Structure 1
Amino acid sequence: MHTRILFSAALFFLFIPYAHAYVSTAVWPPADTTARDTTIEKITGFIKKISFGGVFQARYTASLVRDVDVNGIHRPDAEEVVRNSFSIKRARLQAKAQVSDRFTAAVLINLAEFSGDTKGKVLENAYISYRWNDAVNFTVGQFRPSFGLEDLYPVDIIRSMDFSNQYYAFGSNGWQSFQIGVSMFGSFNKDSKVPVKYAVSVVNGNNRNQVSDNDNGKLATARLEFGNMNKLSLGLNGGFGAVKRQGVYASGLDVSGVIPLAPKWDLQLQSEYKLGNNHQLYYSMADSIRSREGVSRYIMDGVYILPNFRYKINYHKLTSIEFSMRYEYFDEDKKHDGAIRQSYIPMISLAFLKDYGGRIQLGMQIDQYNKDIPGTKTHNSNLLIVQVQCRF
């Protein structure tokens, strides 16, 4: 079913030849905050340009299901279930330094993660980039390898309340999100009808803020993107590697584009399918279970489609009103009798200033499982979310 949804989205785009350009906030390589110039020092031989930026997100969450708390966890035996709460989702600060016309360094931290266990958290980006030309660029350090559509967008400009379930699952398995390694990327035929972008990365695959790799294996990923996301683009993703001496792989396909509907209305559509080994699930099991099957038998896959209707307006600082509805199907263990998760996330948002400099979002996160597991997050839930955002 989920494969048919993705191909339907692709065919839908292919029959829209009149799509026009649209000012997109997606960048390559992916950026994670808006940065403002604060100081520029020109010295003979190189340029020293330092910029700072950040984003703040605060939200109110209410659970509409009895015995399910604000984190979506089922608590049948709790004396009191916390079903509504204010929280700080993100408090990011970024510093970026352009040392010369070729070298750039960046650091991004999320101060909101100090509210809990900080192990493997807080520091998000920490890398150095070297630009040879449009076709050849390098990044070394901790960054987001380009292995899917969501890696190209910072979370504060996505058209939903948060990234997809598959993004976090493939991230925890080392393919996406913040990883430590090296990447080469670039673009070709920028002025042609079908520009091409690519990215090749090799990472430790044991997630961010680690002293070193936890084994001798590495994960290698590649992405090819054809077209322009302002009009229509197709992305192909593939990866392979080794985790504790066992081979693993992942692959994906994504389609995105913008369809003008009227002078002030347009439809932004994103859809993505991924499949790969869930080695994190495999190695979290008891040895007695893992001894019978290899990691190749533990496969996850998922698909989502995200249409976003945008009404452009110029009323004081209000720039647009948006309506989106993301549907996602995700199976963390498709070869076994695992829990299948379907998510529905309707949202309406008010965008202020440029590139979501200010934003008010109202949405719901409706999760449905084919089977509930009492006392866990694998349980049907319905969360109401109000989020306020400021980028600076």
Structure 2
Amino acid sequence: MRTISFLLLLIITGIFNAAGQEPLNQEPLKKESIPKLNIAFNGLFQARYAFSNDKNVDLNGLHHTDGKAIYNDFDLKRVRLQASSKISDRTEVFILLNLADFKSDPENKVLENAFITYRLNPYINFRMGQFRPAFGLEDMYPVDVIKSMDYSNQYTAFGNNGWQSFQMGASIFGAVKGIIPVHYEFTVVNGNNRNQVMDSDNGKHFSSRIEFGLEKCLDMKLGLNGGLARVAGNGVYAAGIDLTAKIPLIKKWALEIETEGKQGNNHTLFHGIDTASRLGNISQYQIRGVYFLPNLRYAINYHRLNSIEFSCRYEYFDKDFKHGHNPRETYTPMISAEFLKTYNARIQLGVTIDRYKHQLPATAQYNNELFIVQVQSRL
């Protein structure tokens, strides 16, 4: 019995010792070979107080003949939360939510960006998901670093027509260095805006942007944009051109200039009109817009105050210049104080001054001045 017990003890001891050793002919796992999931979070808080100079014009620009306009309001403009993850040395995933959209009907809202990128090399990269197509200057930067109170009227209009703002699709983009650096992006999207169950038809929006670096010392860039699409069986187009430059002045002062112009079919307006009321075919319904935005920046760098900026954007916009021809001219003077660098904290004071060729009572085509005080912080 003692011999058997001794043999059993040796066997059990051997089993435990073997369990604590690495298997034969198998290399131990290296920590470096185990993929790590790195997720970064950041966000944007943007709140404002706005009031209309005309108590008969509400904050959306609609004129009221009964004197019941809501002409002043505190508002959460944007409460964004972004998550990004670099799942490999070439692949990244981005998700962007605007939680402020929950204050109203969140259908087709809230989710803004949701896309994946694969970077093959500096020349060829791929993106798929929901994102902002590169179809203009305002698509090149986020709204929290804009040099005015908000995006232009033409940005909203071309977004409603499927060329800008958040769309579902795919793109190829990259850059080529040389005497004249070139950045490009070719995009195909559904063109029926964000968070839709599916495309509204079988047509797609094909667009492109090519940006040339013209002058390095002035940081001057020229952008060319163009696109073709088929919407509800009709062929439509859009085209645009933009230019930016940064001009150093005296010490701590710099002048930044951007200008952009676009034109294209307003198929959203065309399809929104009753068939019997349409004047001509879709080619007769076109939008046109141009803006000029100078921004004077003083790098004060005093304690937490990083800079003070003065800007005044002028915009000419006509949503149907071949028919009604009631253009809208908008002036947006603004002063902005930047704290903590890169707009991590910012206070903006400005006024949006709208002037129409013809004022139409009880519509949004009515002259007004909208005063805005806005604060923002990056999270």
- TM-score when normalising by structure 2: 0.89
Shift of 1:338: 3.4
Alpha-carbon distance in structure 2 between the residues aligned to 1:286 and 1:338: 20
Do residues 53 (structure 1) and 53 (structure 2) align?
Answer: no
User: Which structure ranks higher in relative contact order (CA pairs < 8 Å, sequence separation ≥ 6)?
Assistant: 1
Alpha-carbon distance in structure 1 between the residues aligned to 2:57 and 2:280: 34
Q: Deviations over 1:319-355 (max 9, x none)?
A: 0000000000001011112321000000000001121
Matched-pair contact (CA < 8 Å) for 1:144–1:179 = yes
Matched-pair contact (CA < 8 Å) for 1:46–1:101 = no
- Per the alignment, residue 162 of structure 2 pairs with 174
- Per the alignment, residue 385 of structure 1 pairs with 372
Alpha-carbon distance in structure 1 between the residues aligned to 2:140 and 2:35: 29
- Per the alignment, residue 86 of structure 2 pairs with 98
Stretch deviating more after TM superposition (224-233 or 381-390): 224-233
Selected match of 2:311 from 313, 324, 346: 324
Gaps of 5+ in 1: 1-41
Paired-residue identity, %:
54
Do residues 355 (structure 1) and 342 (structure 2) align?
Answer: yes
Matched-pair contact (CA < 8 Å) for 2:63–2:69 = no
Q: Which runs of 4+ in 1 moved over 6 A?
A: none
Q: Closer, same or farther in 2 for the Cα pair 1:309/1:335, shift >3 Å?
A: same
Stretch deviating more after TM superposition (51-60 or 331-340): 331-340
Shift of 1:46: 4.1
Selected match of 2:233 from 245, 260, 270: 245
Do residues 214 (structure 1) and 203 (structure 2) align?
Answer: no
Matched-pair contact (CA < 8 Å) for 1:47–1:98 = no
Query: One-letter code of the match for 1:172?
Result: N
Query: One-letter code of the match for 1:317?
Result: R
- Per the alignment, residue 302 of structure 2 pairs with 315
- Per the alignment, residue 28 of structure 1 pairs with none
Superposed, which structure 2 residues align to 1:72-151 within 5 Å?
72-78=61-67, 80-151=68-139
Alpha-carbon distance in structure 2 between the residues aligned to 1:143 and 1:284: 25
Query: One-letter code of the match for 2:58?
Result: D
Q: Deviations over 1:30-53 (max 9, x none)?
A: xxxxxxxxxxxx852645221101
- Per the alignment, residue 8 of structure 1 pairs with none
Matched-pair contact (CA < 8 Å) for 1:217–1:243 = yes
- Per the alignment, residue 355 of structure 2 pairs with 368
Alpha-carbon distance in structure 2 between the residues aligned to 1:133 and 1:186: 8
- Per the alignment, residue 64 of structure 1 pairs with 53
- Per the alignment, residue 269 of structure 2 pairs with 281
- TM-score when normalising by structure 1: 0.86
Matched-pair contact (CA < 8 Å) for 1:47–1:101 = no
Selected match of 1:195 from 175, 181, 200: 181
Gaps of 5+ in 2: 1-30
Report the aligned-residue RMSD: 1.3
Tell me the number of residue pairs that the alignment of Structure 1 and Structure 2 aligns: 347
Stretch deviating more after TM superposition (293-302 or 249-258): 293-302
Do residues 269 (structure 1) and 278 (structure 2) align?
Answer: no
Alpha-carbon distance in structure 2 between the residues aligned to 1:261 and 1:49: 42
